[in-house]
A and B are shown apart, each in its own frame.
Chain A
Amino acid sequence: MTSRDPECITVREDLGEFALGLLTGRERARVLNHVTSCAACQVELEALTTVSDQLIALSPFTEAPLGFESRLLSRYHAQSRRPVHRFLRVVAIAAASLVLITAGFILAHHGALRGSATPRADSAAPISATLTSKGRDLGHLWLSTGTTAWIYMSVNDANWTGTAWCSVTLRNGRVLDVGEFAMANGYGAWAARLDASSSDVRSARVTDASGHVIASATLSA
């Protein structure tokens, strides 16, 4: 269809309001029904949506009432500490994997990580392992599955402040440097792309500048 199509002309009358989210359900359905099959209107809608997104960013900044933050965090923690069904836990891990891949995609696009390959959005749940030191649990790592893996690592209570280095050892004995990151008061978390398949990773470790191991994890075969 083209912009001279009568349906295009009718729909374009409403595209601005559609982009602003102002149409009723029935009106939205009518617009969507047309836009899904009209490339020209899709382009127009994309442009108007960009405008709408920028306009909402003009919204005012206002200091929230006293206690806003503590009330919100109390409510959040009360909900997040409820017992989680095992199935939901699996869903959460799978969802975290999706975020991990998305975050990696962004980082790769911004040049924060080496390489430019776009990660493959594998649907399988990530592999996880516990980071330990001398029998103490110090955090977790997650590896997305697929030919190009993404690693997310979270370290807590590691008694270390400063720069730390992360590396993984593959099953063929090769060691890959993942990168360096900052830790403060024993805490640090980061995500990065690995030039290896997740199934090839045997172990991971975090070290200080002298090579002293702060925490490590071994993945099951």
Chain B
Amino acid sequence: MSRHPDTDEHASDEALLAGIALGDDDAVLVFVRRYQRRLYGLALGIVGDAGIAEDVAQEAFMRILRHAAVFDVRRGTVSTWALTITRNLAIDALRLRRALPTAPDDLVFMNLIGRDAAPEDVAARVDEAAPAWAALTQLPPDQRRCVVLAAVYGRTAAEIAASESIPLGTAKSRLRLGMARLRDVVVKESP
């Protein structure tokens, strides 16, 4: 269901998409306000430039709003869909400019890979990520870095190998082992 934003800003993401598909401007506004910090934050984390990040986040929103009608709930959550669109656009923007991605050093990255990371800084804001966060903290630091660089910042194994100064085979191996360990924990905790 989607209603006036003053009274129904807690409408589900799926209901907002239904309203957007039917031309409901209030649903658009609620959706944009709900997601702008997440999509912009993700874009900024990947491209590292505020101007490019805004372009990416705006284009991501435009695609989401235009294609709201074809969102398929069987293929995942709205948030995953929205974040994946943003992430792919950000990676495209980065590669279009032929920039060699460097290892991010922002606070979020340090929190994600740090031994003393405070869960409330990251996963507490997003319930859906709580199992992954818990599993991530159990990984060896090298694997954790590789997984975060790949999953959150969109780095390929080759890019990780370059930025971490490790052989490609090592980067691939860390990614594979890290993902396998996360899978074991996340699947075990799934209902």
Contact surface of A with B, Cβ cutoff 8 Å: 13, 16-17, 19-22, 44, 47-48, 50-65, 68-69, 71-73, 75-77, 79-80, 92, 95-96, 98-100, 102-103, 105-107, 142, 152, 154, 181-185, 187-191
How many residues from B make CB contacts under 8 Å with A? Answer: 89
Q: Which residue of B lies closest to A92 (CB)?
A: B69
Q: In the complex the two chains form, what is the Cα distance from A51 to B134 in whole Å?
A: 12
Contact present for B54 and A68 (CB under 8 Å): yes
- Chain B residues with CB under 8 Å of A105's CB are 73
Within 8 A of A (CB), among B3-43: 3-4, 6-8, 12, 14-15, 17-19, 21-29, 32-33, 36-38, 40-42
Evaluate contact between B4 and A187: CB separation under 8 angstroms: yes
The answer, yes or no, to whether B94 is at the interface (CB within 8 Å) is: no
> Are A56 and B4 in contact, with the CB atoms below 8 A?
no
Determine whether B103 belongs to the interface, using a CB cutoff of 8 Å to chain A. no
B47 within 8 A of A: no
CA distance A5 to B128 in the complex (A): 34
Residue contact B3 to A181, C-beta cutoff 8 Å: yes
Question: B12 contacts which of A79, A100, A106 (Cβ < 8 Å)?
Answer: A106
A76-B28, A105-B73, A184-B6 known; A56-B83 Cβ under 8 A: yes
Tell me the bound Cα distance from A79 to B42 in angstroms: 25
Q: How far is the CB of A57 from chain B (nearest CB, A)?
A: 4
Residues of A within 8 A of B68 (CB): 99
B106 at the interface (CB under 8 A from A): yes
Q: Which residue of B lies closest to A142 (CB)?
A: B22
**Contact A106–B62 (Cβ < 8 Å):** no
Q: How far is the CB of B5 from chain A (nearest CB, A)?
A: 9
A103 CB, min distance to chain B CBs, angstroms: 4
Shortest distance between the CB of B2 and any CB in chain A (Å): 5
Q: Which 6 A-B pairs have the closest CB atoms?
A: A95-B69, A16-B179, A54-B132, A62-B41, A55-B151, A60-B108
- Encode B163-175 as 1/0 by CB contact (under 8 A) with A: 0000000001001
15 A-B interface contacts by CB (under 8 A): A17-B176, A48-B179, A51-B132, A53-B80, A55-B129, A56-B80, A57-B83, A71-B58, A73-B28, A76-B62, A80-B23, A98-B69, A99-B68, A190-B1, A191-B1
- With a CB–CB cut-off of 8 A, which chain A residues contact B44? 60, 62
Instruction: Select B179's contact among A20, A57, A72, A152, beta carbons within 8 Å.
Output: A20
Known A54-B128, A189-B1; judge A69-B18 contact (CB<8 A).
no
Q: Contact check: which of B71, B79, B183 meets A47 at CB < 8 Å?
A: B183
Chain B residues contacting A57 (CB-CB under 8 Å) are 79-80, 83, 126, 128-129, 132
Given contacts A102-B14, A106-B12, contact A22 B84 (CB under 8 A): no
B150 at the interface (CB under 8 A from A): yes
Contact of A16 with B57 at beta-carbon distance under 8 Å, contacts A73-B32, A95-B69, A99-B69 already known: no
Chain B neighbourhood of A152, CB < 8 A: 18, 22
Contacts of A19 in B (CB 8 A): 179
Alpha-carbon separation in the docked complex, A213 to B29 (Å): 29
Q: How far in angstroms is the closest Cβ of chain A from B127?
A: 9
Residues of B within 8 A of A22 (CB): 150, 154-157
Q: Is the CB of A72 within 8 A of B132?
A: no
Closest B residue to A179 by CB, please name it: B1
